[in-house]
Structure 1
Amino acid sequence: MTTNAELAARFEEFADLLEADDVEYKPRAYRRAAENIRSYPSPIADRIEAGDRDAIENIDGVGDAIASKIVEYVETGGIEELEDLRADLPIDIADITRIEGVGPKTAGKLYRELGVQSLDDLEDAAEAGEIRDVKGFGPKTEENIRDNLEFARTVGQRQLLGEARPLADDVLAFLESLDDVDRCEVAGSIRRWRETIGDVDVLAATEDRESVVDRFVAWDSVDDEIESGPEKASVRVGESRVDLRVVVPEEFGSALQYFTGSKDHNVALRNYAIDRGMKLNEYGAFDVSEVAAAETGQRVGDRVAGETEAGMYEALGLPWIPPELREDRGEIDAAESGDLPDLITREDVRGDLHTHTEWSDGNTTIEAMVEAAADRGYDYFGIADHAEGPGIVGDMGLTDTEILEQVQEIHAVGEEAEIEVLAGIEANVDAAGEIDLSEAVIEALDVVVASTHSALGQDAETATDRLVHAIENPAIDVLGHPSGRLLNERSGLELDATALGAAAAEHDTALEVNSDPRRLDLWGSAVQAAREAGAPIAINTDAHQPSTLEYMRWGVHTARRGWAEPDDVINTWELPTLREFLH
């Protein structure tokens, strides 16, 4: 099955290769199309197979030419024009551009000057001192490339949560449709909502395991069978590997706990069990207090739990621990003492404070974004388009005059809207931690989000000092995507989340969990450290069109990985309380 993420990746590659070939204008059109394809609410391949080409051409940014390429890829598995581009520029463009500071244009230049096609070629050229001699580069760029090679090699092996989880939901829907399946659930890192995923792990309970395996392998969405047996199977769906394991119903809970992980959590939980005369494994919880030390086996002792996952924890005298917390970061001690957090849910979120429109790099109007927010049941909604500044390309950033003009339009839309509309801006935190907004603009705005878009190669101490300085600025309400990372693309700033949290707590500045699945910045452990330091948190989507308001799902689960409760998050607050916080 061709997934939307797979289609989007092809058009992102198109854009990169065109940019590497010094083609103007077209790359931006392809990137816009890719973003809208990725976030399209239903499988595009299904629409094509149903003969509904009009629906494809109605996707924002997808005209007749791009629609033809989408159809060609779905029907043939390739795009002839893309193949021609690859032949002209035989570059592993996705791998090479994961190096911080190496974009498509740089990759194209290194290919033309040094014949660099792959990360191995890039490493050879850097080690030989050849890159510094290319015009526009130098020793510092060469050193940066060497330092980032390991990151570029490792990140490409994992898939974004936002790409893998929708596929997992499709797998669950298929399994739930089978009469033989009693229960099913995702497992592994995807159930813990980690930001990147290796494989999609799924568990099913059934009395007829071989039948379920056979029907899973024969599922219409499966492109290739990797392996299968009487109790498990692995298949390829699009570019993703899906691993199914089937168990008998009475062992579903223990298997779910075991295969959810994490490994560190399971080891700590097993040790906790041993201290209490218990044994845990994928088959159940067993009382081994009366078992001789010489006895071995997976099912030794009296089985006291295993049918449900909650029962596995109850057998140890513990409450059920949410999967997001299972990283061995104190969750077992918290469960034992009754101090597990009451984690935030999507239903707790009252609004979104960081979104974009066509005024900067968004894809639609203020009215359309506000209407979509109202449809989600929000109480309030913030528009925060880009201000001009470092890291903002071309004319995407607004001048002070344009910001004031937009504020007037936001207020006009707000007068007609069903919800409260907040006028905001996404300012740019420069290398020294400053933002460039006039006092008149700051006075006119309801919310100022300030984010890093440049100087992302700073060391941890410099980066932390820079961000703390920004937090101390009374004009800034929210520090947006603090590290500036892009998952599987760039590592972003190293930072001390505890120091940021302490500064944020002192100066009433919220630290953002940016819900874009390419960012998820801050991440779980950083949210936990910041929260423990007393920092307020904001969960925002950074949405550029109505459909990407759904990104809130990823942000909420990321905040849950950081132990966040509703009161920790400013956009769960009622509007008067939020306005007071926003000065």
Structure 2
Amino acid sequence: MSRNDEVAARLEEFADLLEANGVEYKPNSYRRAAENVREHTEPIEDLAGEGEDAVATIDGVGDAISAKIVEYIQTGEIEELAALREELPVDIEALTRVEGVGPKTVGTLYEALGITTLEELAEAAEAGRIREVKGFGAKTEQNIRKNVAFAREARRRERLGDARPLAEDALAHLRDSDAVESAEVAGSIRRWRDTTGDVDVLVASEAGPEVVDAFVEWPAVTDTVEAGESKARVRADGMQVDLRVVVPDEFGAALQYFTGSKEHNVDLRNRAIARELKMNEYGVFDVSGVDDPEVGQRVGERIAGETEASMYAALDLPLVPPEIREGTGEIEAAVAGELPDLVGTDEIRGDLHTHTDWSDGGYSIAAMATAAADRGYDYYAVTDHATGPGMVGGVGLADAALEDQMAAVDDARNEVGDGFALLHGVETNIDADGDLSTADDVLAALDVVVASPHAALGQDRETATERLVCAVEHPSVDILGHPTGRLIGRREGLDPDVERVAAAAADAGTALEINADPARLDLRGALVRAAIDAGATVVVDTDAHSPDALDYVRYGVHTARRGWCEVADVLNTRDPEGLRSFLH
């Protein structure tokens, strides 16, 4: 597993500490370098082994940053970063998880109150000391107090986009062992929940100790917490990873049980009891002739357990897809023969929300479009940021610049070639009242318009709902981008009445976005289902800022699956003609 994420995290910490110390401009350079390192296809440690010049080939990584990266790979530390930590000894990552607390705020509160940790921040807010700091007030203090609880909870869970690749790396390592017959991820990661507490890996094998030995030798392991005959727990990339080994005959039962959810399993167990069956992690057992079926785990005749499908079949059910095992009606749907035929990643035919180096992306229009064509897509939209609320650092395009970009998109069309539809659009900003930051005549000239909230994300439910309804009803808006504006683990975002927004979107012919960026996954699964039930169309977009980020589509598709989406529900499963019909 590459160290790109690890190095990117150090650069982001460097940027935050610089900003907390009042340094201008430099932090943005480090953040852009961090993003490009994280998304670079080659392992950063391999480039560092070739020297600073090789590292500097990454876009946005200059001489100074490349030297720091090489230093970190070689020594495990960056001397300047260590000095910054000593100068400002704060838990910058934890403190900036609190919405409204950025690096500059961290620096100010350290200087004024000596706050270094999340707990100290909470105590100061509760004691009323933050309002006494120059530039702060009672309202700011109240917001910090409210958001600390969310930051505490977020810190205990990992984003799917961080945990899933680690789980897959563990599976790849284990599957190389001759002792392993089958290996799968379990738990909330297998259900593609947007966050997870830890990583659960399940293995089928007759040789538990050998599998455990192989697991603790996984190169990603930084600490072995425990290792027994059939179980182990390690830490890797800052996360807890749990291994459980079962005999092959019980693998399907264990996979079903440890995938969960708890609510889903309770529903299944109750259905089993009604049929005089016992269902647990070892299989399904016929206990019709057993005096006390609660005694022991393997009581009665085992009738299922080797495969997951056999577990459901024993209860007269079809296999329920992991993404919808949440105890929200999936068993009833299975009984009625009404389980959805969930959309698949291979059915996505294009991406309608992406960025280039015209705004905050790192690659040209042609490079991004070519990458999409190489994926086999039929169409692709360039939707760079417009100026407006929530855009900082000159990122967004003014109306005149958008008009200039039209010619550049035409040039890129010629470069990519025929048989691929390159659309020109924009991600315009929805202000606090629901108005858009791009002129109506410019919007009307574009192929696709994504309207997204980037500011005023603390609005009450009614105000947020009216704001989004206003946006989806705009005659030029095709897609409501990341509708709540949440960032997982950093801010909760808006809490609109999704049914009302979805109904308005359905009437207006506007699609609601499932933003597949693992930092967002917005709409999330439960809201996707509410939107579909209200008659809305959804669209799975990556919000990609680089070609590699187009791979995020899988997170969006599985989020759509968590929302019970079928192909017909998803705009970008349509062919080009069907897409044009919707857009126009």
Is this contact kept in 2: 1:2–1:74, CA < 8 A?
no
Paired residue for 2:283?
284
TM-score by length of 1: 0.97
Provide the rounded CA distance (Å) in 1 between the counterparts of 2:3 and 2:491: 24
Does 52-61 or 471-480 show the bigger shift?
52-61
Q: Structure 1, residues 51-71: CA drift from partner, whole Å, max 9, x if none?
A: 576553322222333233223
Structure 1's unaligned 5+ residue stretches are: none
Once residues 2 and 81 of structure 2 are traced to their aligned partners in structure 1, the CA distance between those partners, rounded to angstroms, is 17
Moved more, 550-559 or 406-415: 406-415
What SS does structure 1 have at the residue aligned with 2:232?
Answer: strand
**Structure 1, 98-107 or 451-460: larger mean CA deviation:** 98-107
Q: Partner letter of residue 277 of structure 1?
A: E
The 3 A distance-change label for structure 1 pair 373 and 397 is same
Q: Which residue of 2 aligns with 1:478?
A: 479
Unaligned runs of 5+ in 2: none
Q: Is the 8 A contact 2:163 2:196 kept in 1?
A: yes
Give the letter for the 1:191 counterpart: R
**1:441 is matched with which residue?**
442
Larger displacement relative to structure 2 (503-512 or 117-126): 117-126
- The answer on whether the counterparts of 1:152 and 1:489 sit within 8 Å (CA) in structure 2 is yes
Once the two structures are TM-superposed, the CA of residue 134 in structure 1 deviates from its matched residue by 2.4
Q: What amino acid maps onto 1:507 in structure 2?
A: A
Instruction: Give the aligned residue type for 2:127.
Output: A
Query: Contact 2:350–2:573 (CA<8 Å) still a contact in 1?
Result: yes
How many residues are matched?
582
Greater shift, 101-110 or 349-358, is seen at 101-110
Query: Matches of residues 16-27 of structure 1 in structure 2 within 5 Å?
Result: 16-27=16-27
Q: 1:33 corresponds to which residue?
A: 33
Query: How many angstroms does 1:47 deviate by?
Result: 5.2
Equivalent residue for 1:233? Answer: 232
Sequence identity, in percent? 59
The verdict on how the C-alpha distance between 1:189 and 1:42 changes in structure 2, with shifts beyond 3 A counting, is farther
Superposed counterparts of 1:412-423, under 5 Å: 412-418=411-417, 419-423=420-424
Partner of residue 410, structure 1: 409
TM-superposed CA distance for 1:264, in Å, is: 1.2
Letter of the structure 2 residue corresponding to residue 192 of structure 1: R
Per the alignment, residue 564 of structure 1 pairs with 565
Q: Label 1:64 to 1:394 Cα distance change in 2 as closer, same or farther (>3 A).
A: closer
In 1, Cα distance between equivalents of 2:437 and 2:496? 23
Q: Is structure 2 residue 388 aligned with structure 1 residue 389?
A: yes
**Does structure 2 retain, via aligned residues, the 8 Å contact 1:91–1:116?**
yes
Q: Distance in 2 between matches of 1:47 and 1:395?
A: 32
Does residue 143 of the first structure (1) align with residue 142 of the second (2)? yes
Say if 2:52 and 2:67, in contact at 8 Å, map to a contact too.
no
Shift of 1:46: 5.2
Give the alignment's TM-score, normalised by structure 2.
Answer: 0.97
SS of structure 2 residue aligned to 1:402: helix
1:355 maps to 354
Counterparts of 1:503-518 in structure 2, within 5 Å, are 503-518=504-519
Tell me how far 1:83 sits from its aligned partner: 1.1
Deviation at 1:220, TM superposition (A): 2.9
What residue identity is the alignment partner of 1:444? A
Aligned twin of 2:222? 223
Q: Distance in 2 between matches of 1:9 and 1:91?
A: 16
Q: More displaced, 512-521 or 112-121?
A: 112-121
Say if 1:2 and 1:238, in contact at 8 Å, map to a contact too. no
1:368 aligns with 2:367: yes
* RMSD (Å), alpha carbons: 1.6
Distance of 1:336 and 1:201 partners within structure 2: 29
Q: Distance in 2 between matches of 1:498 and 1:538?
A: 17
Give the Cα separation in 1 of the matches to 2:53 and 2:79.
22
CA positional deviation for 1:354? 0.4
Work out whether residues 3 and 238 of structure 1, in 8 Å CA contact, stay in contact via their aligned partners in 2. Answer: no
CA change 1:478–1:12 in 2 (3 A) is same
Shift of 1:539: 0.6
CA deviation after TM superposition for structure 1 residue 11, in Å: 1.2
- Rounded to whole Å, the distance in 2 between the matches of 1:333 and 1:2 is 44
Aligned to 1:94: 93
Q: Is the 8 A contact 2:174 2:214 kept in 1?
A: no
CA-to-partner distance for each residue in 1:146-185, whole Å, 9 max, x for gaps? 1111001110111111111111111111111111111100
Determine helix, strand or coil for the equivalent of 1:499: helix
SS in 2 for 1:381: strand
Shift of 1:393: 0.4
Deviates more, 1:421-430 or 1:8-17: 8-17
Counterpart secondary structure, 1:223: strand
The reply to whether residue 4 of structure 1 matches residue 4 of structure 2 is: yes
Letter in 2 for 1:21: N
Q: Deviations over 1:523-572 (max 9, x none)?
A: 00000110111110011000011111111111111111111111111111
Deviations 1:194-249 (A, max 9, x none): 11121111111111111111121123332211101001111122212211111111
Structure 2 counterpart of 1:464: 465
Q: Matches of 1:161 and 1:34 in 2, distance apart?
A: 19
Name the CA distance, whole Å, in 2 between partners of 1:2 and 1:347: 27
2:513·2:541 contact (CA, 8 Å) conserved in 1?
A: yes
Deviation at 1:342, TM superposition (A): 0.9
For residue 116 of structure 1, report the CA deviation from its aligned partner: 1.7
Q: Deviations over 1:456-495 (max 9, x none)?
A: 1111222112111211112111000011111111111112
How far residue 408 of structure 1 moved from its aligned partner, in angstroms, is 2.1
Tell me, yes or no, if the aligned pair for 1:502 and 1:533 is still in contact at 8 Å.
Answer: yes
1:482-497 equivalences under 5 Å are: 482-497=483-498
Q: Is the 1:407–1:444 Cα contact (8 Å) retained in structure 2? A: no
Q: Does 1:499 align with 2:506?
A: no
1:295 deviation in Å? 5.7
Query: Matched residues in 1 for 2:305 and 2:579: separation?
Result: 45
